[in-house]
Structure 1
Amino acid sequence: MRQFTTGDLNKQVGDVTDAASREPVVLTRHNKPRFVLMSYEHYERMRGCGDPRRAHAVSEMPDKHAELFGQAIERLARSQGYDDES
C-alpha cells in the first residue's frame, strides 16, 4: 500500500487521487498513519461484503461443519491435539 503525507495530498492531489483510484493509500501526518484514501467503488465493495464468518447453534450447524466439529472433538478427547499441531 502506497503512503503519502498530508502535505503530499495538498501539493500533489492528482498523484495521490490517481494512486487511490488503483488501491487504497495511507495518508500520514507526523510520520504516523492517520487516514486511508480509496476509490468510492472500493469502499462500496468493502461495505457490501459482510463478514463471512457466522456463529451457529449446534442444532442449526450445517451438516458438513457438524461432521468436522465432531471429528475435531473426538481427536481432542483422544489427546491427539489439533490438526495444525506437529
Structure 2
Amino acid sequence: MPRSGGSYTTSELSRKSGDIIAEALRRPVTITQRNKPRLVLLNIEDYERLTRQLDSRSAGTIETMSDGLFAEFENAVETYAQEDESGKP
C-alpha cells in the first residue's frame, strides 16, 4: 500500500520497486534516505517538459540588447563605479 504524499524510503524502493514505478508514472515520487529527500522519480513526459523549460532561456550580448535595456545597464555600471570611487555606497 503506497504512503500518502508519494514519498518512499530507499528500503521501500528495493522491496516495492514495481508499485513505486507505477505510481511515478502517474505523479512524481520522492525517495528518502535517512528521513531526507534524496531523489525524485517522474515520468518521461514531465522530465522532458522540465528540460524544455530550462532550454527556453536565452543569452544575449551587449550588441543584441535593446536601447532601453542598454541604457539601464550603462546607468547601473556608472552608478556602481561612482560609488566605488567615493568609497561609499
Residue in 1 that maps onto 2:10: 6
Q: TM-score, normalised by structure 1?
A: 0.57
Q: Which amino acid aligns with 2:10?
A: T
Q: TM-score, normalised by structure 2?
A: 0.56
- Any unmatched runs of 5+ in structure 1? 81-85
Check 1:36–1:66 CA distance in 2 against 1; reply closer, same or farther (3 A cut).
same
Residue in 1 that maps onto 2:74: 70
Tell me the percent identity: 29
Rg larger in 1 or in 2? 2
Contact 1:6 1:27 in 2 (8 A): yes
Residue in 2 that maps onto 1:21: 26
Check 1:69–1:16 CA distance in 2 against 1; reply closer, same or farther (3 A cut).
same
Shift of 1:19: 5.8
Count of residues in Structure 1 that have an aligned counterpart in Structure 2: 77
Shift of 1:20: 6.2
Check 1:79–1:40 CA distance in 2 against 1; reply closer, same or farther (3 A cut).
same
Residue deviations 1:40-83, cap 9 Å, x none? 221110122215152x3222223343122112112212318xxx
Q: 1:79 aligns with which of 72, 78, 83?
A: 83
Q: Which has the higher helix share?
A: 2
Q: 1:57 aligns with which of 57, 61, 64?
A: 61
**Which contiguous aligned blocks of 4+ residues in structure 1 show a shift greater than 6 angstroms?**
none
* RMSD of Structure 2 on Structure 1 (CA): 3.3
